[in-house]
Structure 1
Amino acid sequence: MRRTVVNRVLLGAVGAVLLGVGVLVLAGGLDLYRRLGVHPPDRWPFTSPDQPVVSAGSRQRWVASAWWWPTVIGGLTLLVAGMVWLLVAQLRRTGLSSIAVPTPGASGLRLRVGARALEEALENRTVVLPEVERAGVRLVRAPRHPRLRGAVRLRPGGDPAALVEHFEDGPRAEACGSLRLAELPADLRIRVLQAAPAEPRHGRRRGRRRRRPARVE
């Protein structure tokens, strides 16, 4: 799963939880249940402006337990740590959303190509190379030029040197020509699958049953 998908799922889940809590608090604070004549179920949270977030009975019942404060502090610590990790992951994002294409013959024209479209094109061109079983390509940031990071899985007996040559002359050269880039560095991580071991022959040959000679009386 790509990191962008994970980020969207996490942000969507956190946003849905916060939105639900906010709607409940807003409905209780504005006393919408009484005004609209709605009768919420028993133990429904935040039903009136005078209702606290945690009732007095719950506070007295749980605070007396020894595990209450460690659990609250630990849970809040994990929540804050998770939010900080998500923020740092967003700030350290290395992927590109698009890449600029030079247009020397047209002044004032800016042309950009979506990074995902370019990645899919490179993956489709790489997966059809000889001995390639699976390929994944990402376009990442670099100090001077965009950079490709690829992960290729070869079939058993595949030649990594031949794959590098085919990749250089094929997908990478075509990408440089299409985007009019003088240079497009690439890092390839190649994995060669091992041939499956021969399955042992199960069972033994059953010996022929010796027939007893017929008795002649």
Structure 2
Amino acid sequence: MLGTVNRILLGILGLVLLAAGAALLTAFRPLGGRHEPLLTAATRQQYWHAEGWWWWAVLAGLGVCVVLALWWLLAQLRRPRLGALVVDTGDGAFAVLRGRALEEAVAAEAGALDGVARCSVALGGRQGRRGRRGAPRLQVELELEPHAVPADALAALAGPVLNHARGSAGLPGLLAEARFRITSHRARRVT
């Protein structure tokens, strides 16, 4: 979903920038030929000579845009989630378990616990030395109902839910981090 949204936004942004560049080139294109500058010295002096800060502000704004674009690009290249896990089947062969399937299974089982209103799960991996992925790690966010006891929800999550996940993934240990929130509720009106 995020990849599709990113592609659509990039396409729209690219078309807008292309149209803006074409409009600027046709509006400011000198009639003297292709070797003439876009803004002649007379034009620059006429419009922006009195404000010497103008060019520095434009350059600073463009620099900020470039830094933000590079930051966004690096954020897109970083993959915080594991796509798949390799599971040893015990007979010398291996199976591939999709990370999304494990996330959905854990979320469904944890969401069915007593007192849990909503659950979201993300499967990630710690970065090991030399950039290799280390042990997989679950990040579980539970939204508890107002009457729920957090200690009971944590015990149920740490016990059966994570044991099922470890067993199905064939992992001796599966690190997990749980975050709890309480659902806000409004008092009922009595008439």
Q: Provide TM-score, normalisation by structure 2.
A: 0.71
Q: Flag the structure with higher helix content.
A: 2
Match of 2:48 in 1: 63
CA distance in 2, matches of 1:9, 1:183: 35
Match of 1:213 in 2: none
Match of 1:103 in 2: 89
- 1:59-98 pair list within 5 angstroms: 59=44, 61-64=46-49, 66=51, 67-90=53-76, 93-98=79-84
Gaps of 5+ in 1: 29-39, 202-217
Q: Deviations over 1:26-83 (max 9, x none)?
A: xx8xxxxxxxxxxx9xx5688x983878454865554335253133112211112202
Please say if 1:17 is aligned against 2:48. no
Percent identical: 27
CA distance in 2, matches of 1:121, 1:192: 22
2:169 is aligned, of 149, 171, 179, to 179
Q: Read off the aligned partner of 2:48 and give its amino acid letter.
A: V
Q: 1:20 to 1:191 in 2, by over 3 A?
A: closer
1:155 is aligned, of 135, 140, 145, to 145
| Contact 2:28–2:39 (CA under 8 A) maintained in structure 1 | no
2:120 is aligned, of 118, 123, 136, to 136
Q: What is the number of equivalent residue pairs in this alignment?
A: 179
Q: 1:197 to 1:63 in 2, by over 3 A?
A: same
Match of 1:126 in 2: 110
Higher relative contact order (CA 8 A, sep 6+): 2
Q: Flag the structure with higher strand content.
A: 2
Q: Decide which structure has the larger Cα Rg and report it.
A: 1
Match of 2:99 in 1: 115
CA distance in 1, matches of 2:178, 2:84: 21
CA distance in 2, matches of 1:53, 1:90: 37
CA RMSD, 1 decimal: 3.7
Secondary structure class of the residue paired with 1:148: strand
CA distance in 1, matches of 2:179, 2:118: 12
